[in-house]
Amino acid sequence: MLLSQNASAMRPLNVYLVAYISLVFGALQAFPEDFCIFRMTLRNFRVILSWELENHSIVPTHYTLWYTIMSRPEDMKVVKDCTEVTGSFCDLTDVWESMPETYVPRVVAFRGNTTLVSCTSRESIFPAIKMSLEPPNFEIVGFTDHIKVIVKFPPVIPKILRGEGLHVYLSLVIEEVSGGIIKKHKPKINAKTITGNFTYVIDNLIPNTNHCVSVYFEPSDPGKIIESPTKCTLLKPGQESESSESAKIGGLITMFLIVVVFISTIVILQHTGYICLRNEFPKVLNFYNFSAWVFAELPPLEAVALLEVIHVKRKKKVWDYNYDDESDSDNEAAPQKNAGGYTMHGLTGRPLCPASGSSATMEDCCDPDAEEADLPTPEAECESLMAPGSGPWQPECTSEADEGRGTRLEDHFSEEDGSSVEGSGDRIIFNVDLNSVLVRVLDDNSEVPPELSLPEDSTELQDPSEMETNLLVASGGGTQPSFPMECLWPEDSPSETSDTSESDADIRDGYITR
Amino acid sequence: MINKHFFEIMLVLLATSTVFSLELKMVLFQQRRVNRESVKLLNKLPTSSMQQCLLHRKDFLLPQKSVNPHQYQKEHTLAILHEILQQIFNLFRANTSLDVWEENHMEKFLTELHQQLEYLEVLMGLQAEQKSGTLDSENLRLQVKMYFRRIHDYLENQEYSSCAWTIVQVEINRCLFFVFRLTGKLSKQEMDP
């Protein structure tokens, strides 16, 4: 019963509602159409649609806003919060939420209960392009050399501004003006950072100067920029800048002192020899000499000759050298290089140079075979008396064989050492007691075995000139015995030997007896 | 032992990523230009046609999933972008009704669109090493193709009337907005992988 009564009451109500909507909708079609100028604005992050009748003669008292979209065939929708509003604007923040959508608004103007006009937009509203972006509220705080800009954003961003790609359609610009120079700062904003207050710092500013700041949104259509009012501030001068200058000066002085101390320390260490030691090595220690690398064998540090002094207390002694021609040839051909630990090369001072105080036979000196063990120097002979480096020089008294030997000797030297001791200035000095020694020059062609003859009285037999000539002068490394006596043998060699009859033979054999 | 080609490979990868990031910036920049030109083109429509064409509206069922940038990897995004722009280019180039728009505006729009396609093709070439024929990518491209097929069919049914082009232009503006969002997402993916 009750339900039936209610149902009966609802029926006329529904009828009245339908009739009203039909009348309104019909009015939209029936009433004169006019055009309104619609403006969509983002004001304080609120989507505001405002309108203005083109026909200013019509002065309505209130308005009702309708809209539809272009992407789907939908009917006009009334905005509930914008029904019979007295103002010519409407907050559509929660109504128009899609940026890519195209909206078609319509406003019905009333005067009292009379519908005056239904106006539409000449253009569809595409918010991404048509929405004007009013500048946000902001504050600035000036410091000495920087300004802090605080842009006020709402805690909740309108839905139409959410989503990616927002920065394309509206980009935030902070403009700083000082001394007629305009600088634009474009901090990137997105949906995450656009909530709450946004702080931006403009640094590297000149102290004690006036700076003005304005903040606005830059839409994709540059022609619709709405600039904000400029706010200016005078940066703090003086104390902080002076302190900074004094700090800079102090820093510079400190750095200067540090550099001075460092340099003085370096100089002191250098002078005391802790660093930067001299590297001027003596030539003998200069291993970086290229010629030394090329010629791998280093010159001998000293001329060393091992002498075996045979002190024989008999007049005559037949010294069996115990070598034959073959051994001679072999030895000559291949003398030992290192015998007794001595190097072969460089020591041209063949044991023609007896040591001081010791008796040595020239024969020993001359005979490489006998003295090979002790005198590992290359085979020595009259021809070997000449320096290896003296090369082609041949004593006049030598035979062809000797010359050959000399040649071989040279070759031997070159083979062995790879270096030739040149320089006639190098000599080996030995003190030779000529009273007790005999020197002998080897002669291959001589069939007579070499004999060692010792003078009984060396003083009597000694010829001073011979003594001088017999002396072997050695000096330093490199040996270049000077044996000018070689050429004197045939003529100048003394005949005052014990075997005078053999003097000639001796001479031929190369003996020098006293 | 380090492979003797290791450094060469690294150099190639670095160069590729550098070129790719530079190209992405160009793509983003160019997409903004494309969108702007598209809207300018739309604004050049006769004002009365908007109200008259309300009766010709149609829902073309834009594939939201295809244009949702949160779902895809980089290679999928590139494929979707290229497909959409290629379809738009073909749509306006083949069926240009010069009565509706001025020729200059249309040519400028197509020029910007073509430039964007070239940038995308370069990026896709740099991504050639990766598999481009995945099933997900092909499904998305198919949805985009079907979407534009519906647009083509609508134009044919409406006999390429001015209102039909108005409705299509509005739809393309909406589509380009999603394309731009995809491009922005692609740039973010490159900067923050």
Q: Give Cα separations from A39 to A33, A127, A129, A136, B101 (angstroms).
A: 19, 10, 11, 18, 25
CA A321 to chain centre: 70
d(CA B113, CA B115): 5
User: Can you list the alpha helix ranges (DSSP code H) found in chain B?
Assistant: 6-43, 48-52, 74-94, 103-126, 135-157, 162-191
Please indicate whether, in this complex, the C-beta atoms of A164 and B59 are within 8 angstroms of each other. Answer: no
Sole residue written with tokens 């001027």: A280
Residues 6+ apart with CB under 8 A from B106: B41, B92, B96, B98
Per-residue DSSP letters for A368-410? TTTTTTT--SPP--HHHHS-GGGTT---TT--HHHHHHHHHHH
Q: Quick one: average pLDDT of A236-242? A: 61
Are A344 and A416 contacting, i.e. CB atoms less than 8 angstroms apart?
yes
Summarize pLDDT for B75-94 with one digit per residue, the tens.
678 888 889 989 988 888 87
**What one-letter code names the amino acid at B136?**
D
Name which of B36, B43, B183 is nearest A220 (Cβ-Cβ): B36
**What one-letter code names the amino acid at A259?**
V
User: Could you tell me which chain B residue has the CA closest to the CA of A102?
Assistant: B170
What is the model's pLDDT at position B118? 85
Residues 6+ apart with CB under 8 A from A344: A335, A336, A337, A338, A376, A377, A378, A416, A417
**What one-letter code names the amino acid at A13?**
L
3-state helix, strand, coil in chain A (%, to 5): 30, 25, 45
Q: Quick one: average pLDDT of A482-501? A: 42
* Residue ranges of E strands in A113-250: 114-121, 132-133, 138-142, 147-151, 170-178, 181-185, 198-202, 210-219, 231-234
Mutate to test the interface with A, among B27, B28, B29, B51 (most CBs of A within 10 A): B51
Summarize pLDDT for A128-146 with one digit per residue, the tens.
778 888 888 999 999 888 9
Summarize pLDDT for B102-130 with one digit per residue, the tens.
667 777 878 888 888 888 888 777 665 55
Are B69 and B181 contacting, i.e. CB atoms less than 8 angstroms apart?
yes
What is the model's pLDDT at position A379? 43
Are B44 and B103 contacting, i.e. CB atoms less than 8 angstroms apart?
no
Q: Give Cα separations from A365 to A292, A300, A349, A439, B131 (angstroms).
A: 30, 20, 9, 7, 93
In degrees rounded to 5, what are phi and psi of residue A68?
-145, 175
Mutate to test the interface with A, among B150, B177, B183, B192 (most CBs of A within 10 A): B177
Tell whether pTM > 0.80.
no
Nearest-5° Cα angle at A477, A472 to A482: 25
pLDDT band at A255 (very low <50, low <70, confident <90, very high): very high
The strand pair at A33-43 and A114-121 is best described as parallel
Are A414 and A439 contacting, i.e. CB atoms less than 8 angstroms apart?
no
Q: Which range, of A1-5, A62-66, A211-215, A303-307, averages the lowest pLDDT? A: A1-5
Chain A hits for B43, CB-CB cut-off 8 Å, are 123, 129
A279 vs A239, higher pLDDT: A279
Q: Residue A59: pLDDT above 60? A: yes
d(CA A304, CA A474): 10
Size of interface A-B (CB pairs under 8 A): 70
Which of A353-357, A504-508, A510-514 is modeled with the greatest confidence?
A: A510-514
A263 vs A502, higher pLDDT: A263
Minimum distance, in Å, between the CA of residue B10 and any CA atom of chain A: 32
Q: Which residues of chain B have pLDDT under 70?
A: 1-25, 28, 32, 35, 38-49, 66-75, 95-103, 126-135, 188-193
Residues 6+ apart with CB under 8 A from A445: A399, A401
Are A337 and A379 contacting, i.e. CB atoms less than 8 angstroms apart?
no
Chain A hits for B62, CB-CB cut-off 8 Å, are 71
Chain A hits for B55, CB-CB cut-off 8 Å, are 73
Q: Residue A94: pLDDT above 70? A: yes
B residues 48..67 contacting A (CB < 8 A): 50-51, 54-55, 57-59, 62
Q: Which range, of A248-262, A319-333, A491-505, B19-33, averages the lowest pLDDT? A: A491-505
Please indicate whether, in this complex, the C-beta atoms of B51 and A104 are within 8 angstroms of each other. Answer: yes
Minimum distance, in Å, between the CA of residue B12 and any CA atom of chain A: 31
Q: Residue A200: pLDDT above 80? A: yes
- Of A245, A250, A249, residue with least CA distance to A144: A245
- Of B176, B160, B155, residue with least CA distance to B98: B160
d(CA A53, CA A88): 9
DSSP code of residue A282: -
Give the torsion sign (CA, B26, B27, B33, B34). Answer: positive
Minimum distance, in Å, between the CA of residue B151 and any CA atom of chain A: 12
Minimum distance, in Å, between the CA of residue B31 and any CA atom of chain A: 10
Minimum distance, in Å, between the CA of residue B59 and any CA atom of chain A: 5
Q: Residue A44: pLDDT above 80? A: yes
Sole residue written with tokens 């009015």: A27
pLDDT band at A482 (very low <50, low <70, confident <90, very high): very low
Taking each continuous run of H as one helix and of E as one strand, the counts in chain A are: 13, 21
- Of A415, A430, A456, A461, residue with least CA distance to A353: A430
Summarize pLDDT for A308-364 with one digit per residue, the tens.
777 766 666 667 776 665 444 444 444 444 444 444 444 444 444 444 444 444 444
Name which of B57, B173, B184 is nearest A72 (Cβ-Cβ): B57
Q: Determine how many CB atoms are found less than 10 A away from the CB of residue B54.
A: 18
pLDDT band at A286 (very low <50, low <70, confident <90, very high): low
Please indicate whether, in this complex, the C-beta atoms of B188 and A73 are within 8 angstroms of each other. Answer: no
pLDDT band at A415 (very low <50, low <70, confident <90, very high): very low
Please indicate whether, in this complex, the C-beta atoms of B174 and A73 are within 8 angstroms of each other. Answer: no
Summarize pLDDT for A423-441 with one digit per residue, the tens.
445 566 667 666 665 655 5
In degrees rounded to 5, what are phi and psi of residue A151?
-95, 130
DSSP code of residue A122: S
Please indicate whether, in this complex, the C-beta atoms of A220 and B59 are within 8 angstroms of each other. Answer: no
Chain A hits for B177, CB-CB cut-off 8 Å, are 99-100, 128, 165
d(CA A511, CA A498): 12
Q: Determine how many CB atoms are found less than 10 A away from the CB of residue A197.
A: 13
What is the model's pLDDT at position A188? 77
Which of A85-89, A111-115, A117-121, A338-342 is modeled with the greatest confidence?
A: A85-89
User: Could you tell me which chain A residue has the CA closest to the CA of B35?
Assistant: A220
pLDDT band at A496 (very low <50, low <70, confident <90, very high): very low
Kindly state whether B124 is in contact with chain A, defined as any CB-CB distance less than 8 angstroms: no
Q: Residue A82: pLDDT above 90? A: yes
Residues 6+ apart with CB under 8 A from B180: A165, A168, B31, B32, B35
In degrees rounded to 5, what are phi and psi of residue A115?
-85, 120
Per-residue DSSP letters for B99-132? TTS-HHHHHHHHHHHHHHHHHHHHHHHHTTTS--
B residues 65..104 contacting A (CB < 8 A): 69
Kindly state whether B188 is in contact with chain A, defined as any CB-CB distance less than 8 angstroms: yes
**What one-letter code names the amino acid at A291?**
S
User: Could you tell me which chain B residue has the CA closest to the CA of A166?
Assistant: B181
Chain A hits for B181, CB-CB cut-off 8 Å, are 163-165
Residues 6+ apart with CB under 8 A from B20: B123, B126, B127, B190
3-class DSSP state for residue A67? Answer: strand
